[in-house]
Chain A
Amino acid sequence: MGSPCQVQLQGEAPALLQSVGVQLEAEARRLEAKYSRFLPDSLTTRINQAAGSGSPVAIDEETARLLDYADTCWRQSDGLFDITSGSLRSLWDYHDLADRQALPTAADIEKALVKIGWQKVERGEDSVALPQPGMEIDFGGIVKEYAADCLATLAERAGVASGLVELGGDIRLVGIVPETKAWQVGIRDPFDTSRACAHISLSQGALASSGDYERYTVIQGRKYSHILNPLTGWPVSGYSSVSVVAEQCVIAGTVATIAMLRGTEGETWLKELGLPYLSIDQDGRIGGSIAGDLSGVVNNGETG
């Protein structure tokens, strides 16, 4: 999945755990092969390569439901969560921009925005077409979390007592443990990635995070975050990271992402949703409904 993954299974029968482990690995590889935009043979790549060609690409049930989920996220985020927003990434290439101390021009942004917009995607029940050449979809914000849910559910169905699936930092538990035996999950300090700045106790469900790990880049004396609004094409300023607890990892992940995209409105959105969350703002202050008695401030070494 392009990031560190681990699966831990607990149970009484070693043979069962081993056979389930093999199944889970196969399932993870299946999803990666199908949805990774970096693999030349993936469905995502085929959809993107057909952009602007006028011929729709056939999709299966699973992909149709993932696109439906992406559609729900797009609607619930008022257009902020948009799986077609990938081309902004190359526009805001911070290494290049910081070196040149230059911002994208309004014309560049205008050009990029033409290739962005979920509402432009032509959906059929068993096909999808991207109308503009160069337009791209990216399941990155959904499939990793979906995969964690799939793997955990597979393990549960196979009879695994309890366990944990972690795909690139997003976690979904297998089964359930009493709160006294809850998994202690460390939240990585966005300002010092070698340490945990908080621990969340999880006895069931999932925990996923979204964060602006590199915080911001200073260009011409102003700070720009790495969270990009697909409607304006400009960076959004808000949380440094958000971690959300939900029954499904895919929900935890997309809610965390939407909270980041909402910038200063992120807190309102999270409170409305009512899911347990932990946020860290640009100054390293910890907040959120599960911040509880966690220590208040993460050390924010002032380096750009």
Chain B
Amino acid sequence: MKSRQLLALTASALALPGIAPAARADTPPTENTLSYRISRYAEDDLPGQYLVAGSAERYDINIHQFQLVTPVGEEYGLTLTSSYESMSGASPWFTVPAFGDEKTVVMSGATIHEQRRDFNVALRRYLDNGNYAFNIGASDENDYEAWSGGFDMARNFNNDLTTIAGGVSFSSDDLSPTDASLFNRVTDESKRTSSAFMSVSQVIDRNSLFQSSLNVTYHSGFLTDPYKLGDSRPGSRTQIAWSNAYRRYLAGPDAALHVDLRLYDDDFGINSVTLDLSWYQNLGDNWQVAPRLRYYSQSAADFFTPVNDVSGLLAFNSSDYRLAAYGAISGGIQVQTTIDDVTLSFVAERYLSDKGYSLYDGDTSPALVDFTRLSLGIGYRF
């Protein structure tokens, strides 16, 4: 678009020291921020015609999130995050064939009540040309325990216009399924997860930036779902995700456009595409409304079968709907207002999944979920 002359002048002007556009903030927090959010996640009940046994009611989850961000000394920022979830409902057990091509789901019999707690501490040090952080975390459910830790670092180059970041994380998870003897479930299993990422972010101009990240995650150990009958999965899984983020500020409407595209591949045979669009619209000094649209589609795992294999001939087999081919569309809105040092936010999201939305051919599952999620949050700076 720019004329050749203007490009020549711009290139020459940007070579002048001290006038390149200012990059993103890379400074430690200067004040404390305490945040709390409560969210309600409710899955739609499974349509009656698919259900042969069990409860039609699916998960309802209440999630409480707490976060404290606080400066430590001149160079450090400490972030404490904790969440508490209480869930009730039933989840699909296995799928059995019905008449003709229809597939039917068997839900786990009883409504379950479970809690999950997790806690994470991250300490980040801010340097002149970058930052690095360590974090450790733990989570705990009545049948599941996990420890995790990670390190990441970022370095700015090119007058802070380019940032290269990378990091690793590890997690060690232990499963001890409930009612193991009753249902012939495993009693004590574990899995390990290692993950690494590299990312490059580039300031394009004063109003826009781009980030591209590559993430590789390797799981090993017991990857089967202990609560799904007849479920048997490989002992390792490698996932690769390529994520791209574009952010652009538009002065006219005083709004920021977010475009996120992720391409994913793993050795279970699953590919997926995720496209996420958000529009952060400022209204006056104190209000912000952000509508959001997300599209997701995945292919089926190689060993996915719509109904559980009972022949015992297949090495690996699962009818878990999460390994089926499907697509999902979700839409939401976030409203946020700031009054002095207090920020209030509200988020609503509706998520619909369907084989019809899928980009991929392949077997799907009748147990796909639709859900609604509402969140209320408050943040206080001091």
Measuring CB to CB, which residues of chain A are less than 8 angstroms from any residue of chain B? 61-62, 65-66, 68-69, 71-73, 75-76, 146, 149-150, 153-154, 156-157, 159, 176-180, 203-205, 247-248, 250-251, 254-255, 269, 272-275
- Whether B9 and A156, one on each chain, are in contact in the complex, defined by CB atoms closer than 8 angstroms, is no
- Whether A250 and B254, one on each chain, are in contact in the complex, defined by CB atoms closer than 8 angstroms, is no
A62-B9 contact in complex given A178-B282, A179-B252, C-beta closer than 8 Å: no
- Whether B16 and A76, one on each chain, are in contact in the complex, defined by CB atoms closer than 8 angstroms, is no
- Whether B8 and A72, one on each chain, are in contact in the complex, defined by CB atoms closer than 8 angstroms, is yes
A178-B254 contact in complex given A75-B8, A274-B6, C-beta closer than 8 Å: yes
The 3 closest A-B pairs by CB, nearest first: A178-B254, A156-B22, A72-B12
- Of all chain B residues, the one with the shortest Cβ separation from A180 is B254
- Of all chain A residues, the one with the shortest Cβ separation from B14 is A248
**Neighbouring A residues of B21 by C-beta, 8 Å:** 153, 156, 247
**Neighbouring A residues of B207 by C-beta, 8 Å:** 176, 204
- Whether A273 and B251, one on each chain, are in contact in the complex, defined by CB atoms closer than 8 angstroms, is no
B188 at the interface (CB under 8 A from A): no
A76-B8 contact in complex given A179-B252, A247-B205, C-beta closer than 8 Å: yes
Q: How many angstroms between the C-alpha atoms of A64 and B99 in the bound complex?
A: 82
A–B Cβ pairs within 8 angstroms, 30 of them: A61-B17, A62-B17, A65-B16, A68-B12, A69-B13, A69-B15, A69-B16, A72-B9, A72-B11, A72-B12, A76-B8, A146-B16, A146-B19, A150-B19, A156-B22, A176-B207, A176-B251, A177-B251, A179-B252, A179-B254, A180-B254, A203-B251, A204-B206, A204-B251, A248-B14, A248-B19, A250-B13, A250-B19, A251-B6, A273-B6
- Whether B5 and A150, one on each chain, are in contact in the complex, defined by CB atoms closer than 8 angstroms, is no
B10 at the interface (CB under 8 A from A): yes
Measuring CB to CB, which residues of chain B are less than 8 angstroms from any residue of chain A? 1-3, 5-6, 8-22, 25, 27, 205-207, 249, 251-252, 254, 282
**Neighbouring A residues of B9 by C-beta, 8 Å:** 72-73, 76, 251, 254-255
- Whether A273 and B5, one on each chain, are in contact in the complex, defined by CB atoms closer than 8 angstroms, is yes
How many Å from the CB of B72 to the closest CB on chain A? 19
Q: How many angstroms between the C-alpha atoms of A20 and B15 in the bound complex?
A: 24
Question: Which of A76, A159, A203, A275 has the largest count of B CB atoms less than 10 A from its CB?
Answer: A76
- Whether B13 and A248, one on each chain, are in contact in the complex, defined by CB atoms closer than 8 angstroms, is yes
A76-B5 contact in complex given A69-B12, A176-B251, C-beta closer than 8 Å: yes
**Neighbouring B residues of A68 by C-beta, 8 Å:** 12, 15
Q: Which of B6, B20, B252, B282 is within 8 Å of A153, CB to CB?
A: B20
Q: How many angstroms between the C-alpha atoms of A203 and B252 in the bound complex?
A: 9
Question: Which of A204, A248, A274 has the largest count of B CB atoms less than 10 A from its CB?
Answer: A248
How many Å from the CB of B54 to the closest CB on chain A? 55
A251-B18 contact in complex given A176-B206, A272-B3, A275-B6, C-beta closer than 8 Å: no
Q: How many angstroms between the C-alpha atoms of A273 and B6 in the bound complex?
A: 6
How many Å from the CB of B320 to the closest CB on chain A? 48
Q: How many angstroms between the C-alpha atoms of A160 and B262 in the bound complex?
A: 35
**Neighbouring A residues of B19 by C-beta, 8 Å:** 146, 149-150, 153, 248, 250
How many Å from the CB of B26 to the closest CB on chain A? 10
- Of all chain B residues, the one with the shortest Cβ separation from A176 is B251
16 further A-B pairs in the complex, CB-CB below 8 A; given A150-B19, A156-B22: A62-B18, A65-B17, A68-B15, A75-B8, A149-B13, A149-B16, A149-B18, A176-B207, A178-B254, A179-B254, A180-B254, A247-B10, A248-B19, A254-B9, A272-B5, A274-B6
- Whether A251 and B13, one on each chain, are in contact in the complex, defined by CB atoms closer than 8 angstroms, is yes
- Of all chain A residues, the one with the shortest Cβ separation from B6 is A273
- Of all chain A residues, the one with the shortest Cβ separation from B12 is A72
Q: How many angstroms between the C-alpha atoms of A248 and B12 in the bound complex?
A: 11
- Whether A150 and B251, one on each chain, are in contact in the complex, defined by CB atoms closer than 8 angstroms, is no
**Neighbouring B residues of A75 by C-beta, 8 Å:** 8
- Whether B12 and A179, one on each chain, are in contact in the complex, defined by CB atoms closer than 8 angstroms, is no
How many Å from the CB of B113 to the closest CB on chain A? 47
**Neighbouring A residues of B2 by C-beta, 8 Å:** 274
- Whether B20 and A176, one on each chain, are in contact in the complex, defined by CB atoms closer than 8 angstroms, is no
